[in-house]
A and B are shown apart, each in its own frame.
Chain A
Amino acid sequence: MIWLETIANGIFLGGLYALIGLGLGFAFGVMRVVNVAQGDFIVAAAFIGLFLYPWTPVHPILVIIPVAVVAFLIGMALQWLLVNRVLGHDQIPQILLTFGLAIVLRNGMVAGFGANSQSIDVGEMRFWGFDFLGLRLGVLPALVLVIAIVLFAALHLWLHRSRLGRLIRATADDYQIVQLQGVNYRKVYAVAMGLAMALSAVAGVLLAMRGSFTPYSGSDRLLIAFEVVVIGGLGSFWGMFLGGMVLGVTQLIALKLDPTSGLMYGHIVFFIILILSPNGLAGAFRNAVFRK
């Protein structure tokens, strides 16, 4: 029973990890931009959440909405003012740009908020639990998983049903040709980066509610994001979701067996998957289905 509970909790955590990866994977899928500053933006979003949650009506968890809006605007500005200027065949300038941004952001947060560990207090909810098939599970972790699933599904539907979603997919396929259809791909990119940031920001705030963070947490978050995206298979939507699950479940089972292991076994599983299937789980699935 204890193992089932551990796996369930791993799935809850995996939903959050998937959400952390979604922003990075979405930005990469649409623009081929690897945003190295993503981890530090996730932490910055947690600080914004920390600042805004005392004013949030109804329930502190709703703070994800204003933080997402702020992050969306920051993402648009980031793309419009900085990243769009360095786009081209060469990926290096854009990686250097976001890397530099990450350093500035991290040190700015240390200077502004200090290096202490912080957490967003959701009050009583932290201790609420519920019984499910004989398992005792936490309300907050389950709610986080539900939010992750809703966001994945919403993004998927929006991309496939809406006009702007269609333009984003077309731009991801061929950013030169969309211009011949009258589309300013720079605007599309700005919206895509705004969305990527908003998704990451939600993940950052939820992470800060489940645990704690410091201005230095960004590199851990970025590593998780990279692993989720790579395990899932670059740009594969539901592959990323699965990638988050794999990391979350592995980590919690490993912690039960070896309480001091931290994230190590998650990283090991990531390496094993990378060696066995360089295209991630989605790639392995495609091979199994189409190779025959």
Chain B
Amino acid sequence: MSLLSVENLEVSYGDFQAVRGASLELEAGQTIAIIGANGAGKSTLLNAIVGLNSQKRGTVRFDGQDITHLRTDRIARAGITMVPEGRRLFGTLTVEDNLMVGLAAERPGPWTIEAIYQLFPRLGELRSMVAGSLSGGQQQMVSIGRALMTNPRVLLCDEISLGLAPKVIGDIYRCFDAITASGVSVVLIEQNVVQACAASGYVYCMLEGRISLEGRPQDLTRAEITAAYFGTEVRT
């Protein structure tokens, strides 16, 4: 049985249906990626999993339990958290205070403040800086560190490469080896197809609120992905 399973999820904002029946599975220890263009419903799907969206139908199961309508803080305490799009740090708090907020989930585990500073040594140097004053890449490290501080079993990452320099993106993705090695299962949202395929063992492509393609990266052709991503016919 998979650790996290989403069955036929539908999410609406008022009259607009952003997710139209999406299903996906995440096995323990696995990293999966969801790719798709802007507005395909990727972020909405993740937000719905952690309960930040209330207008939804379908089922989200975590470790066999139905968590579809659980409150976000309960879901976090159960072991699913998210690195939100745009980082969303507590801008007036210091780096260390940002990380310490994660202790509220009361989930002991390998990820302590020292472990975060070991993963991102730069954050140790910046620990007493106000988070709002950091560069984009540093902020992304704080955002990932903050999520890890809850010692999640499932970590959802919403476009962590957005707006960052390629070198910084590389640095951040390299850290995911250590994160998955600690037993965390990861769901990545990416617009960057190459990055997503390189970092994950299974890829879902979303188009207009539906899963338009799924499979292991090595089994998918470039043409298939392009068609599923943009919704165009494959020309041969």
Residues on B with C-beta less than 8 A from A182 are 73, 76-77, 81, 102, 104-107, 150
Nearest CB of chain A from residue B77's CB, rounded to whole Å: 5
List the A side residues contacting B84 at CB < 8 Å: 177, 180
**Cβ of B57 to closest chain A Cβ, rounded Å:** 22
Chain A residues in 8 Å Cβ range of B76: 179-182
- B residues in contact with A167, CB < 8 Å: 101, 104
As a 0/1 sequence over residues 82 to 110 of chain B, the CB contacts with chain A under 8 angstroms (1 = contact) are: 10100011111100011011111111000
Nearest-neighbor residue (CB-CB) of A182 within chain B: B105
Does A173 make an interface contact (CB < 8 A)? yes
Q: Are A180 and B81 in contact, CB atoms less than 8 angstroms apart?
A: yes
Query: Across the interface, do A181 and B149 meet the contact criterion of CB distance under 8 Å?
Result: yes
> Could you say which residues of chain A place their CB within 8 Å of the CB of B92?
169, 172-173
Q: How far is the CB of A12 from chain B (nearest CB, A)?
A: 32
Complexed CA–CA distance, A31 and B92 (Å): 15
Contact A184 B105 (CB under 8 A): no
Q: Number of A residues contacting the other chain (C-beta, 8 Å)?
A: 18
A180-B147 in contact given A166-B93, A166-B100, A170-B90 (Cβ < 8 Å): yes
A183 within 8 A of B: yes
Bitwise interface map of A from 172 to 199 toward B, beta carbon under 8 Å scored 1, else 0? 1110111111111100000000000000
Closest A-chain residue to B72, C-beta based? A179
Question: Are A166 and B101 interface neighbours, CB within 8 A?
Answer: yes
A179 near B71: Cβ-Cβ < 8 Å: yes
**Residue of A whose beta carbon sits closest to that of B47:** A176
The residue in chain B whose Cβ has the minimal distance to the Cβ of A179 is B72
Cα A176 to Cα B102 with chains together (Å):
14
Minimum CB–CB distance for B48 against chain A, Å: 14
Nearest-CB distance from A276 to chain B (Å)? 26
Q: Is there a chain A Cβ closer than 8 Å to B198's Cβ?
A: no
Task: Give the most central of B76, B90, B93, B102: most A CB within 10 Å.
Answer: B90
CA gap between A169 and B81 in the complex, in Å: 20
Q: Of A163, A173, A179, which contacts B90 at CB under 8 A?
A: A173
B127 → A minimal CB distance (Å): 14
Which residue on chain A has the smallest CB distance to residue B78? A182
Residue B50 is within 8 A (CB to CB) of chain A in the complex: yes
Query: By the criterion CB–CB under 8 Å, are A169 and B97 in contact?
Result: yes
Let me know if B146 and A181 touch, CB within 8 A. Answer: yes
Q: Chain A contacts of B88 at CB under 8 A? A: 174, 176-177
Contact call B72/A180, Cβ cutoff below 8 A: yes
Assess A181 versus B102: contact at CB under 8 Å? Given A169-B90, A176-B52.
Answer: yes
Cβ A184 vs Cβ B73 within 8 A: yes
Q: Contact at A181–B93, with CB atoms within 8 Å?
A: no
For the complex, what is the distance from the CA of A183 to the CA of B84, rounded to whole Å? 16
Q: In whole Å, how far is B101's beta carbon from the nearest beta carbon of chain A? A: 5
Is the pair A173, B93 in contact by a Cβ cutoff of 8 Å? yes
Interface members, chain A 153-176 (any B CB < 8 Å):
163, 166-167, 169-170, 172-174, 176
Residue of A nearest to B107 (CB): A182
Q: How far is the CA of A97 from the CA of B129 in the complex (A)?
A: 40
A62 to B236, CA, bound (A): 86
Cα of A173 to Cα of B73 in the assembled complex, Å: 17
* A170 and B97 contacting across the interface, CB-CB below 8 Å: yes
A167 to B102: give the CA distance in the assembly, Å: 10
Contacts of A170 in B (CB 8 A): 90, 93, 97-98, 101
Most-contacted residue by chain A among B73, B81, B101 (CB, 10 A): B101
Q: Is the CB of B91 within 8 A of A173?
A: yes
List CB contacts (< 8 Å) of A27-51 with chain B: none
Contact in complex: B90, A180 (CB < 8 Å) = no
Instruction: Apart from A176-B52, A178-B101, list 4 A-B contacts with CB within 8 A.
Output: A169-B92, A169-B97, A176-B72, A181-B101
Q: Nearest 8 CB-CB pairs, A to B?
A: A182-B105, A179-B72, A173-B90, A182-B76, A170-B90, A179-B73, A182-B77, A183-B104
Chain A to chain B contacts (Cβ below 8 Å), 17 pairs: A163-B103, A166-B100, A166-B101, A167-B101, A170-B93, A173-B90, A176-B52, A177-B90, A178-B101, A180-B76, A180-B81, A181-B149, A182-B76, A182-B81, A182-B106, A184-B73, A185-B73
Residues of B within 8 A of A (CB): 50-52, 71-73, 76-77, 81-82, 84, 88-93, 97-98, 100-107, 146-147, 149-150
A contacts, CB < 8 Å to B? 163, 166-167, 169-170, 172-174, 176-185
